[in-house]
Structure 1
Amino acid sequence: MDKGERELTLDSILLGIKPGETALVEYTSVSSPELLFYLMVNGCLKRDIPVIIDDIADTFSEYIKRLKITGLPTEDLLKVSVIKIGGNKDVGKVLGKVEIRRYSLDFSVYKEVYEKVVPKKPVCNPVLGIHKLFASLDFQDAMRLVRNIESFVGTETRFAVYFINRETLEERFPEILGLLEESVTSVFTWELHKEIYKFRIVKSPNLSIVGSEISLSGEDFFKLVKH
């Protein structure tokens, strides 16, 4: 690993995503994606980067519960702006709601809500629980959802980070994950190997960091939180 790679940090990667980009964070069922989400949102708040969370099917509520059990303070997260997509638990500063009808998402309605609440400054837009939506669709509607996600690439009012359970999506639609990976600008993986969390850069427009990996123990994580 060269000097440039050694200097990589989670902050420099996640907060280095440029407006107009769409990234995937592929995690496993046991890798606690809320920890990575926590670091990213806290990093944004410290740097005065506005955040709007897309909360699909109450996933944000699930993240908050698990973070509290881990012992992490969640007060700042609960002040973050949220667009609710399905679900019925209003957690965070809910600015708008989009219903999921017949197991699909009307993106024209979503765009109307988004345009009403998006600030002038580019925002970090974490999208939580998108795999739950895919799991409820047939293949044709899943393909339509991929195209809709791709249509937001280049929207310079935001950089979007989709947190997606890779195992769930691969079980439901093995072909869809590859199509998603092709359509976005960056792909990261977040996995747990024994007691070590591993963040890997699979795809990025910054070719010099592709293939790089950052490893964190639980102790390392709490050091970053306190930093």
Structure 2
Amino acid sequence: MVEQGFEFIFSQLRAGETILIEYTSVSSPEILLYVLEEYCKQHDIPMIIDDMADTLPEFLIRLDLIGLPIEGFKDIPVIKIGGHRDEGNVIGRIEIEKYSLNLQYYDLIYERVVPPKMVYNPVLGIHKLFLINSIKEYGGGIRLLRNISKYVGNKTRIALYFIHKDLTQTKFPELLYLFEEIATSVMQWERSGSTYKLKVVKSANNNILEKIATINFEDIKKM
């Protein structure tokens, strides 16, 4: 794989993409969300966050504890899907069972706030919905993936699904493989010591296929 910077990789993402970001239990995905938020702020790119089962509050608590500023997240529009803890500018709420069965509720909220300019849309905690749906409804995970696939090609946004790979691969390996197939791009987020690495293993844009971006914590603090 060839070394490239985060800015290069983010700038090469295409409108309408559905991107799967796979992270491990110890790779601190909140760091990648922070880097992405800084990129969007610097380039005047709007962001909307889908927060499933209070994943965003968990991310922000960890960012705060390691000493990174979280003020930039306060005004970002957030669509809450399940959960009870509010962070960011919550502009709509959806019950989890409604999200898994019928996305018209999500569409009503999203279309009300989406700006004319294309947005980056991090989706946090999708693996939690797989867990919840496996308890609530047989075949719920497949139905959720089918709903997600309907948004591939929606050029109002670039959707970035953060997924806990360890958990999903153990509990729902078939869903992970199907998600990787549905996604237009797949990236892997890793940590070694205080260095973080983003690998592009599948991409709709050949310019970033097999590219890697790395950053250490000291450089993150200077952003």
TM-score per shorter chain, which class? over 0.9
% identity of equivalent residues: 47
In structure 2, do the counterparts of structure 1 residues 105 and 222 end up closer, same or farther at CA, with 3 Å as the change threshold? farther
By relative contact order (CA 8 Å, sep 6+), the higher-ranking structure is: 2
Distance 2:174 2:66 in 1: 35
How do 1:81-92 residues align onto structure 2 when only pairs under 5 Å count? 81-92=77-88
Q: Which has the larger displacement, 123-132 or 203-212? A: 203-212
In structure 2, do the counterparts of structure 1 residues 222 and 86 end up closer, same or farther at CA, with 3 Å as the change threshold? same
Cα deviation, 1:5-43, whole Å, max 9, x if unaligned, reads 45x211221243111111011000100000010010111
Distance 2:149 2:114 in 1: 19
Letter in 1 for 2:102: D
Letter in 1 for 2:191: L
Question: Per-residue deviation at 1:105?
Answer: 5.2
Cα deviation, 1:196-224, whole Å, max 9, x if unaligned, reads 3221110012224322222333223334x
The answer (yes or no) to whether the contact 2:126–2:163 under 8 Å persists in 1 is yes
The answer (yes or no) to whether the contact 2:123–2:162 under 8 Å persists in 1 is yes
Question: Per-residue deviation at 1:102?
Answer: 7.9
Task: Establish whether residue 125 from structure 1 lines up as the match of residue 121 from structure 2.
Answer: yes
In structure 2, do the counterparts of structure 1 residues 29 and 148 end up closer, same or farther at CA, with 3 Å as the change threshold? same
Q: Which has the larger displacement, 84-93 or 104-113? A: 104-113
| Alignment TM-score, normalising by the size of structure 1 | 0.91
Question: Per-residue deviation at 1:64?
Answer: 0.8
The answer (yes or no) to whether the contact 2:6–2:214 under 8 Å persists in 1 is no
Task: Establish whether residue 100 from structure 1 lines up as the match of residue 106 from structure 2.
Answer: no
Aligned length: 220
RMSD: 1.7
Any unmatched runs of 5+ in structure 1? none
Which portions of structure 1, spanning 4 or more consecutive aligned residues, are displaced by more than 4 angstroms? none
Distance 1:221 1:62 in 2: 19
Give secondary structure in 2 for the equivalent of 1:101: helix
Give secondary structure in 1 for the equivalent of 2:218: helix
How do 1:170-185 residues align onto structure 2 when only pairs under 5 Å count? 170-185=169-184
Distance 2:73 2:34 in 1: 8
Distance 2:98 2:14 in 1: 34
| Alignment TM-score, normalising by the size of structure 2 | 0.92
Any unmatched runs of 5+ in structure 2? none
Task: Establish whether residue 25 from structure 1 lines up as the match of residue 24 from structure 2.
Answer: no
Distance 2:13 2:209 in 1: 14
Counterpart position of 1:198: 197
How do 1:125-144 residues align onto structure 2 when only pairs under 5 Å count? 125-138=121-134, 140-144=139-143
Question: Per-residue deviation at 1:48?
Answer: 1.1
Letter in 2 for 1:157: T
Cα deviation, 1:52-89, whole Å, max 9, x if unaligned, reads 00000111101110110011111111111111111111
Question: Per-residue deviation at 1:178?
Answer: 0.9
